[in-house]
Amino acid sequence: MNTILITGCSSGFGLATARYFLDRDWTVIATMRAPREDVLPGSDKLRILPLDVTDADSIAHVVDAAGPINVLVNNAGVGMFNALEGVSMDMVREVFETNTLGTIAMTKAVLPQFRQRRSGTVINVTSSVTQQPLHLLSVYTGSKAAVNAFTESLALELEPFGVRARLVIPGRAPATSFGDNARARTGMNIPQAYGALAAQVFAGWQQSPQDVTHPMDVAEAVWRAATDPSCPMRLPAGADAVAAAKAA
């Protein structure tokens, strides 16, 4: 019986991935900062657990409650859209605490069981902005680029134990609430000096590019990373992510 633990399952990529694995008869441990029972279908193969990836006690509790798992998906994350001059260092630290240190802490917590069993897969979800930088996303991009580098180095040290680490790299996903949440977090308090730049970026968002990422793209990429030992280290998810990977 295969078991997957996924962080950040209340919406978006995490929710789609949980559904995808449930449909394929995996046992799914879906974690959320504020658990909601109504977002996933009832199943005896599903457990919904509370998790704050920035809290060591919360991590320890969820790993203990989950028991043995085969795959960890670090999907939980927060966005940040602003010029660097427009954000406080407390906000910067908050982004890195969740996106970077939370991923590292969750990975560290499950590695002992993977190493002892000499099997297991860590899948870290980052972003195509690490391959094709965009305006006003310097803090967010930095937090995700750090995870890319962390994962690629981690894979080398885990290889002797039969444990794999892989990256799933989505593009822009307007169908999810991630962008709205990012803008709400910063309060759109963009410094006046960057106002013209921000207006240009917002105008670009109003256009509807054909190539975007859908939650199912990410779920399918996570599935491949979890089930195909021969898959590459970096798996772009979404048509725009694939294009960015080719251009990088």
- Domain 3-247: assigned CATH number: 3.40.50.720
194 is catalytic: no
- Region 8-13: mean pLDDT is 96
Of 140, 150, 178, 223, which one is the catalytic site residue?
140
210 pLDDT above the threshold of 90: no
183 pLDDT above the threshold of 80: no
Strands 121-125 and 164-170: parallel
pLDDT at 181: 63
The per-residue pLDDT for range 162-182, each reduced to its tens digit, is 999 999 999 999 888 766 665
- Region 106-131: mean pLDDT is 98
Whether residue 12 contacts residue 5, with contact meaning beta carbons closer than 8 Å, is answered with no
Say which residues have a Cβ less than 8 Å from residue 153's Cβ, sequence separation at least 6: none
- pLDDT interval class at 116 (50, 70, 90): very high
The per-residue pLDDT for range 39-86, each reduced to its tens digit, is 999 999 999 999 999 999 999 999 999 999 999 999 999 999 999 999
203 pLDDT above the threshold of 90: no
186 pLDDT above the threshold of 60: no
185 pLDDT above the threshold of 60: no
pLDDT at 105: 98
Q: Provide the edge-to-edge strand list for the sheet that holds 3-6.
A: 46-50, 27-32, 3-6, 71-74, 121-125, 164-170, 234-237
d(CA 167, CA 105): 16
DSSP class of residue 160 equals: G
236 pLDDT above the threshold of 70: yes
